[in-house]
Amino acid sequence: MRICMASDFFYPNMGGVEEHIFNLSQCLLARGHKVIVITHSYADRKGIRHMTNGLKVYYIPIKVFYNQVVLPTMICNIPLIRYILLREQIEIVHGHSAFSTLAHETMNVAQLLGLRSVFTDHSLFGFADLSAVVTNKFLEISLANCNHCICVSHTGKENTVLRAKVHQDKVSVIPNAVDTAYFTPNPCRRPNDDETINVVVVSRLVYRKGVDLLAGILPKLKHLPNVHFIIGGDGPKRALLEEIRERNNIQDRVVMLGALEHAKVRDVLVQGHIFLNTSLTEAYCMAIVEAAACGLQVVSTKVGGIPEVLPSSLIILTEPTVDSVYRGLREAIAREMEKKQITSSRYMNGSIDGLAPTPSKATYSGLCAFERNQTVANLYNWNNVTERTEKVYKTALREAPAALDLMMKNCLRSGVWPFVLVISLCHLILRFLDWFVPRKYIDLCCPDNPFLSTDHVQGRSMENVASTVRKKREKFS
């Protein structure tokens, strides 16, 4: 299959959506599919770039309007998007994030070109405030002609079905995954003494991530000198945490690391014993999965899809209040102190070695760091996510391309009849482009990934693979 990932959010910007797109693309490439990414330019990063395993990224020259999202014009980018989709011979356009204007525009152009479209919703939205009402209505219009939707949790599916009015049979739940071979525990990076407990927080410091809850917890723990905080991330709420830190004179116990590259997140996580997440809304929290894979005890607010993510042996769930989060954190601290005491007594008795098992369940009810990593590896892996996504793609390809009249009828159901005029205008622009820049004059790219190694090609004999690679090398030399 030839797949196009479309979103405003991609490298060099870092986040959960960006990581999901990159990892899913890499796995699809490894399974023999051709994958490209369409996103807007970032500073001087424009044009075509090739990333790992030949992932082609189109950084199209569109100005950012607000919060890393392009201006929603619906028509201005049609010529460029059409040219890319036809040149790459795309079959499926996969849009990511309800906030991404570029994803919705690319899906709209793809549907008018007779291609299939799939959309992944990574977030939860409300229903009451003005911004949510506008966003939900726009999403309803955009998904009216979408072949299939993917949500990262069952809570996210319910939210999408309600606010976008998508039929539940057209929505699948496919969670995110984590690379447990990279996010591995390293207990040697933790403090060596028997008293210090490191609590790690890695998050964007914004209201939605519950930074106000974290600010309320820090003063309650100042009487525990053995509890230290490592806070990674940046945002408008950072000043609040720094003020709380100085007011309570705990600068030596609360370390503010600022913004982190994703490649450095694991180095921060392995320094901690406990991971604290205070989000107020989450469809699926990648941070807690990565922390659990690194062997940390997770304490998190019970909001959105978080209760679905990890089993009770890996996470302590609390209500999104200061007192509840504080009680959950104290419980986690007590568990870690008990574990330290058991480990210390075993060292003193001379009974510890590199192959010693976890302390008996009669004395310690928790899991060791490596058992947590193995549990996460069994629950979430990118190969499983990729296989399930492939099934969604195949389901979409079996559907017939939507005719223009059907697309307009679907848009009318949303109640925003002026958008039918937008669809009609987009169709007329595409017909004009078919005359002004005929398809036969567009240079077609190789339908397969020219960087694909012979080990990744499935279902072919080694002789055919070697012959194909030789031809590609001659063609691209």
In the chain, the amino acid numbered 20 is: H
The answer, yes or no, to whether residue 433 has pLDDT greater than 50, is yes
Task: Calculate mean pLDDT across residues 432-437.
Answer: 92
Task: Calculate mean pLDDT across residues 90-117.
Answer: 91
d(CA 217, CA 221): 7
Measured CA to CA in angstroms, residue 147 lies from 35, 39, 91, 119, 423 at distances of: 19, 21, 12, 8, 17
- Does the pTM of the predicted model rise above 0.85? no
Confirm if 476 and 450 have CB atoms less than 8 A apart. Answer: yes
Q: Which of 240-244, 277-281, 336-340 has the lowest mean pLDDT?
A: 336-340
The answer, yes or no, to whether residue 132 has pLDDT greater than 80, is no
Confirm if 328 and 316 have CB atoms less than 8 A apart. Answer: yes
Task: Calculate mean pLDDT across residues 321-340.
Answer: 89
In the 8-state DSSP scheme, what is residue 166? -
Q: Over the chain, what is the mean pLDDT?
A: 84
d(CA 445, CA 89): 7
The answer, yes or no, to whether residue 364 has pLDDT greater than 70, is no
The answer, yes or no, to whether residue 152 has pLDDT greater than 80, is yes
Question: What band does 343 get if pLDDT is binned at 50, 70 and 90?
Answer: low
Token duo for residue 247? 């007011």
Cα 156 → chain centroid:
13
Q: Which residue has the tokens 């392995």?
A: 270
| pLDDT tens digits, 41-88 | 988 888 899 988 889 999 999 888 877 788 888 888 899 999 999 999
Tell me if residue 257 falls in helix, strand or coil: strand
Whole-number pLDDT of residue 406 = 87
d(CA 221, CA 218): 5
Confirm if 372 and 281 have CB atoms less than 8 A apart. Answer: no
Tell me if residue 164 falls in helix, strand or coil: helix
Question: What band does 465 get if pLDDT is binned at 50, 70 and 90?
Answer: very low
Whole-number pLDDT of residue 45 = 87
Task: Calculate mean pLDDT across residues 237-258.
Answer: 90
| pLDDT tens digits, 366-398 | 678 888 888 888 888 888 899 999 999 999 999
Q: Name the CA dihedral angle for 278, 280, 283, 288, rounded to a multiple of 10 degrees.
A: 0
Tell me if residue 282 falls in helix, strand or coil: coil
Whole-number pLDDT of residue 365 = 59
